[in-house]
Amino acid sequence: MGIDPKTIDWDSLGFNALETKSMFKATCKTGERWSEGKLVPYGTIALSPASGVLNYGQGVFEGTKAFHTAKDRIVLFRPEMNAQRMAMSTKRLCIPIMNEDFFIDALEQTIQDNIDYIPPYGKGSLYIRPIVWGTGPVLGVKPADEYTFIIFVSPVGPYFKGDIKPLHLKVTHNFHRAAPKGIGNAKAIGNYSASLYPSFLAKKTGFDEVLYLNAGNEKLIEEVGSANLFILKDNVLKTPRLAGSILPGVTRDSVLTLAKEKMDIEVQETDVLLDEVCSADEVFCTGTAVVVTPVGKITSENGKHIINDGKMGKITHELRSLLVGIQREECEDTLNWLHPVD
């Protein structure tokens, strides 16, 4: 039935799955609509060993957060973007598509029922993980005929230990994250299992994470398995364009918008060369989990490159503060990104 929220030390939260009171659960058969679902106690679920997800990885997920704000409200950040990406990802994996209202209503129900697990203002956030799997049995390679949608939540703090300590990334020349016309742009569970071994090797040798190169052209960078990458050079902010294998991150889009509209910085969604990254003025990665995290060192087969003396850059800091300020209602939400949960 979940841990007692009164026992949580809000100051030492990391990025881990803590058991909360409840989770949302719905099922849908092929050809039907996602229409019903309910809150059930948080806990394990039974699956057929022949389920589509266990055999062929037919599953996609989302990640969003709820914040306790300076105005003592609970808000979601741009949940419609998650709903739209969920629709895109499910379509790509032949999973029945759920409409935005169903998705957002399910998020709201889950948050309301787990409200006691939302960290106090300024102490972190409630990470929300909507996930949908093919749970009907299959043997041949084909879509399952039944699907299960779950939303579980966990109070979280920083994704990386040390929070905004600049990362040391290892450029891998041995593995690709996603094929150009594969499923890199969908939030498919298989993309993340593909990143486990490269990430394990990098961490074992003292790096924080892996920077992947484009599978079609290894002069170009792709993303950091769990986050998008940005570089700043001569006051131009660049990030790899969404050409099929890059995940369309909500934070990626938010940072592009804030830089352009609030900070008057030129932004480019374009091809980004590894050489440009290594000589950039600032480098950072973005994601719901990582927020805006600076990169201080990059090691590739050409050696180690120190970015901005290994420190967080000024623009990186400003973008992070602006984004977090909006999410916590310390800054005005002029872009209408917040979705209050009553």
Active site residues: 187
Stretch near ligand COI under the rule CB under 6 A, chosen from 79-87, 260-268, 286-294, 324-332: 286-294
Q: Output the smallest distance, CB 239 to ligand COI, in A.
A: 15
Tokens 């994250």 -> residue? 177
The answer for residues whose C-beta is within 8 angstroms of residue 10's C-beta and 6 or more apart is 119, 120, 123, 124, 155
Binder among 59, 240, 287, 313 for ligand COI (CB under 6 A): 287
192 sits near ligand COI (criterion: CB under 6 A): yes
Residues 17-36: x where in contact with ligand COI by CB under 6 A, - otherwise, as a string: --------------------
**Hey, how many other C-beta atoms are within 10 angstroms of the C-beta on 248?**
16
Residues 214-233 that bind ligand COI (CB under 6 A): 226
Q: Would residue 172 be called left, alpha or beta, if left means φ above 0 and alpha means ψ between -120 and 50 degrees?
A: beta
Q: Which is closer to ligand COI, CB of 183 or CB of 278?
A: 183
Instruction: Pick between residue 136 and residue 294 the one whose CB is nearest to ligand COI.
Output: 294
**Residues 78-117, mask of contacts with ligand COI (x by CB under 6 A):** ----------------------------------------
Q: Of 22 and 199, which has the nearer Cβ to ligand COI? A: 199
| Structure tokens that stand for 151 in this block | 């939303």
Question: Using CA atoms, how far apart are residues 173 and 211, in angstroms rounded to an integer?
Answer: 9
- Degrees, nearest 5: CA angle 92-97-103: 125
- Three-state SS for 255-321 is HHHHHHHHCCCEEEEECCEHHHHHCCCEEEEEECCCEEEEEEEEEECCEEEECHHHCCCHHHHHHHH
Nearest CA among 110, 157, 151 for reference residue 8: 157
Strands 236-240 and 266-270: parallel
* DSSP secondary structure, 117-185, as one string: GSPPTTS-EEEEEEEEEE-SB-SSSS--SEEEEEEEEEEE--SSTTTTSPEEEEE-SS--S--TTTTTT
Q: Is the dihedral of CA 177, 138, 87, 20 positive or negative?
A: negative
126 interacts with ligand COI by CB under 6 A:
no
Please give the residue whose beta carbon sits closest to ligand COI in the complex.
63
Which of 248, 201, 198, 258 is CA-nearest to residue 228? Answer: 248
Q: Which is nearer to ligand COI, 187 or 305 (CB)?
A: 187
Number of residues that bind ligand COI (CB under 6 A): 6
- Is residue 288 a contact residue for ligand COI (CB under 6 A)? yes
Q: Least distance in Å: CB of 249 to ligand COI?
A: 7
Q: Is 63 in the site for ligand COI (CB under 6 A)?
A: yes
Applying CB under 6 A, the span of 23-31, 168-176, 269-277, 282-290 interacting with ligand COI comes to 282-290
CB of 293 to ligand COI, least distance (A): 11
Is residue 197 within 8 Å of residue 157, measured between CB atoms?
no
Stretch that binds ligand COI, among 32-40, 93-101, 198-206, 284-292 (CB under 6 A): 284-292
Backbone angles phi, psi at 298, to 5 degrees: -135, 125
Looking at residue 213, the DSSP 8-state letter turns out to be B
Looking at beta carbons only, is 63 or 294 nearer to ligand COI?
A: 63
Tokens read off for 315? 């623009």
Stretch that binds ligand COI, among 51-59, 75-83, 114-122, 287-295 (CB under 6 A): 287-295
CB of 242 to ligand COI, least distance (A): 16
Residue 245 Cβ vs ligand COI, minimum distance, rounded to whole Å: 16
At its nearest, how many Å lie between ligand COI and the CB of residue 192? 6
Instruction: Give contact residues for ligand COI (rule: CB under 6 A).
Output: 63, 192, 226, 287-289
